[in-house]
Structure 1
Amino acid sequence: HVFRPRSVGEGLGRAWYPPWNSGSSLYFTTKAGAEQTCQEVRFIPVRFKDAYGPVGAWFLLFKSRATNAMGGSYMDERKDELEKWKPYGLVKPIPANLRNWLGMMDVTEGKGPIYMRTEEAIQKIADAYKDDPKAFKKKMKELEEEAWEDFLDMTISQSILWAATNVQPEEKKSEIAAAEPYFIGSHSGASGAWISGPEDLQTEATKKAGYFWGYENMSTVKGLFCVGDASGASSHKFSSGSHAEGRIAAKAAIRFILDNNTQPAVDAAKVAELKDAILKPLKVYEENYKKTTDPDINPNYIRPKMFMFRLQKIMDEYAAGVTANFQTNQASLERALELITWLKEDSANLAAADLHELMRCWENVQRMWQAEAHVRTILFREETRWPGYYRRADFPGMKDDWKAFANCKWDPKTGAWEMIKRPVVDLV
Structure 2
Amino acid sequence: MEIRKLSTDILIIGGGTAGCYAALTIAKESDRKVLILEKANIKRSGCLAAGVNALNAYIVKGQKPEDYVNYAKRDAEGIVREDLLITMARRLNYVTKELEGLGLVILKDENGEYVARGNRNIKINGENIKPILANAVSEFKNVEVLNKVNVIDYLVKDNKIYGVYGISVDEEVFYVVEAKSVICATGGASGLYKPNNPGFSQHKMWYSPFNTGGGFAMGIRAGAEMTTFEMRFIALRCKDTIAPTGTIAQGVMAPQINSKGEDYGKVYGNTTSERVYGTVKENLEGRGPCYLKTEGISKEAEQDLLKAYLNMAPSQTLGWIESGNGPSIANVEIEGTEPYVVGGHTASGYWVDTNRATTVKGLYAVGDVAGGCPQKYVTGALVEGEIAGIAALNYIDNVELTFIDEKEINEVFNKVKKHLSGDKGLYEIDNLEEGMQTVMDKYAGGISSSYQFNEKQLELAKIKIDNIIKLAEDLKAKDMDDLLHIFELKERLVVCKVLIEHLKARKETRWHSFCENLDYPNKDDKYLKYVNSVMKDGRVNIVFRDLIDGGEIYEHSN
Q: Is the TM-score greater than 0.5?
A: yes
Counterparts of 1:99 and 1:350, CA distance in 2 = 40
SS at the partner of 1:13? coil
The residue type equivalent to 2:357 in the other structure is M
- From the superposition, tell whether residues 165 and 331 of structure 1 become closer, same or farther in structure 2 (CA, over 3 Å): farther
| 2:461 counterpart (314, 317, 336) | 336
Q: Paired residue for 1:15?
A: 205
The residue type equivalent to 1:262 in the other structure is E
| 1:379 counterpart (504, 513, 525) | 504
Q: Paired residue for 2:433?
A: 308
Equivalent pair of 1:185/1:238 in contact (CA under 8 Å): no
SS at the partner of 2:401? coil
SS at the partner of 2:305? helix
Equivalent pair of 1:167/1:174 in contact (CA under 8 Å): no
For the aligned residue pairs, the C-alpha RMSD in angstroms reads 1.6
The residue type equivalent to 1:219 in the other structure is T
SS at the partner of 1:310? helix
Where do residues 264-343 of structure 1 align in structure 2 (5 Å cutoff)? Answer: 264-283=402-421, 286-288=422-424, 300-343=425-468
1:276-301 deviation digits (Å, cap 9, x = unpaired)? 22232221xx123xxxxxxxxxxx33
1:328-371 deviation digits (Å, cap 9, x = unpaired)? 01000000000011001001111222111111111111111111
Counterparts of 2:504 and 2:524, CA distance in 1 = 15
Higher RCO, 1 vs 2 (CA within 8 Å, ≥6 residues apart)? 1
The residue type equivalent to 2:408 in the other structure is K
| 1:156 counterpart (285, 305, 314) | 314
Bigger radius of gyration among the two? 1
| 1:52 counterpart (226, 233, 242) | 242
SS at the partner of 2:365? coil
| 1:106 counterpart (278, 282, 300) | 282
| 1:181 counterpart (339, 356, 379) | 339
Bigger CA drift: 56-65 or 331-340? 56-65
Q: Paired residue for 1:88?
A: none
SS at the partner of 1:427? coil
Q: Paired residue for 1:242?
A: 381
The residue type equivalent to 2:254 in the other structure is S
The residue type equivalent to 1:423 in the other structure is D
SS at the partner of 1:323? helix
Residue 167, structure 1, aligned to residue 325, structure 2:
yes
Q: Paired residue for 2:69?
A: none
- From the superposition, tell whether residues 301 and 161 of structure 1 become closer, same or farther in structure 2 (CA, over 3 Å): farther
Equivalent pair of 2:230/2:515 in contact (CA under 8 Å): no
Q: Paired residue for 1:427?
A: 550
SS at the partner of 2:363? coil
The residue type equivalent to 1:63 in the other structure is M
SS at the partner of 1:244? helix
Counterparts of 2:301 and 2:388, CA distance in 1 = 44
Where do residues 35-184 of structure 1 align in structure 2 (5 Å cutoff)? Answer: 35-76=225-266, 78=267, 94-120=270-296, 122=297, 126=298, 140=299, 142-184=300-342
The total of aligned residue pairs comes to: 361
| 2:539 counterpart (395, 416, 420) | 416
C-alpha deviation, 1:154, in angstroms: 1.3
Counterparts of 1:162 and 1:9, CA distance in 2 = 23
Q: Paired residue for 1:402?
A: 527
Counterparts of 1:110 and 1:231, CA distance in 2 = 39
Counterparts of 1:403 and 1:312, CA distance in 2 = 30
Equivalent pair of 2:452/2:513 in contact (CA under 8 Å): no
SS at the partner of 1:2? coil
Bigger CA drift: 94-103 or 340-349? 94-103
SS at the partner of 1:407? strand
Counterparts of 1:161 and 1:180, CA distance in 2 = 22
Equivalent pair of 1:64/1:116 in contact (CA under 8 Å): yes
Equivalent pair of 2:192/2:440 in contact (CA under 8 Å): yes
Counterparts of 1:101 and 1:72, CA distance in 2 = 16
The residue type equivalent to 1:100 in the other structure is V
C-alpha deviation, 1:262, in angstroms: 3.1
User: Structure 1 stretches of 5 or more lacking a match?
Assistant: 83-93, 127-139, 198-215, 289-299
Q: Paired residue for 1:193?
A: 350
Counterparts of 2:294 and 2:417, CA distance in 1 = 51
SS at the partner of 1:308? helix
1:152-191 deviation digits (Å, cap 9, x = unpaired)? 221012223334544322211221111111121222x221
C-alpha deviation, 1:118, in angstroms: 1.6
Counterparts of 1:373 and 1:302, CA distance in 2 = 24
Q: Paired residue for 1:206?
A: none
| 2:366 counterpart (227, 248, 268) | 227
Equivalent pair of 2:216/2:349 in contact (CA under 8 Å): yes
1:86-142 deviation digits (Å, cap 9, x = unpaired)? xxxxxxxx311112222222111111110122213x1xxx4xxxxxxxxxxxxx2x3
Q: Which has the higher helix share?
A: 1
C-alpha deviation, 1:218, in angstroms: 1.5
- From the superposition, tell whether residues 316 and 166 of structure 1 become closer, same or farther in structure 2 (CA, over 3 Å): farther
C-alpha deviation, 1:10, in angstroms: 4.4
Bigger CA drift: 383-392 or 4-13? 4-13
Counterparts of 1:72 and 1:27, CA distance in 2 = 44
User: Structure 2 stretches of 5 or more lacking a match?
Assistant: 1-190, 552-558
Counterparts of 1:346 and 1:229, CA distance in 2 = 29
C-alpha deviation, 1:265, in angstroms: 4.8
Bigger CA drift: 265-274 or 372-381? 265-274
C-alpha deviation, 1:398, in angstroms: 0.7
Equivalent pair of 2:257/2:264 in contact (CA under 8 Å): yes
The residue type equivalent to 1:65 in the other structure is P
Q: Which has the higher strand share?
A: 2
TM-score (norm 2): 0.63
Q: Paired residue for 2:396?
A: 257
Counterparts of 1:337 and 1:241, CA distance in 2 = 34
- From the superposition, tell whether residues 166 and 258 of structure 1 become closer, same or farther in structure 2 (CA, over 3 Å): same
Q: Paired residue for 1:356?
A: 481
SS at the partner of 1:406? strand
1:284-335 deviation digits (Å, cap 9, x = unpaired)? xx123xxxxxxxxxxx332222221111111111111100101001000000
Equivalent pair of 1:2/1:371 in contact (CA under 8 Å): yes
- From the superposition, tell whether residues 143 and 230 of structure 1 become closer, same or farther in structure 2 (CA, over 3 Å): closer
Equivalent pair of 2:236/2:275 in contact (CA under 8 Å): no
Counterparts of 2:325 and 2:486, CA distance in 1 = 39
The residue type equivalent to 1:168 in the other structure is G
Equivalent pair of 1:303/1:352 in contact (CA under 8 Å): no
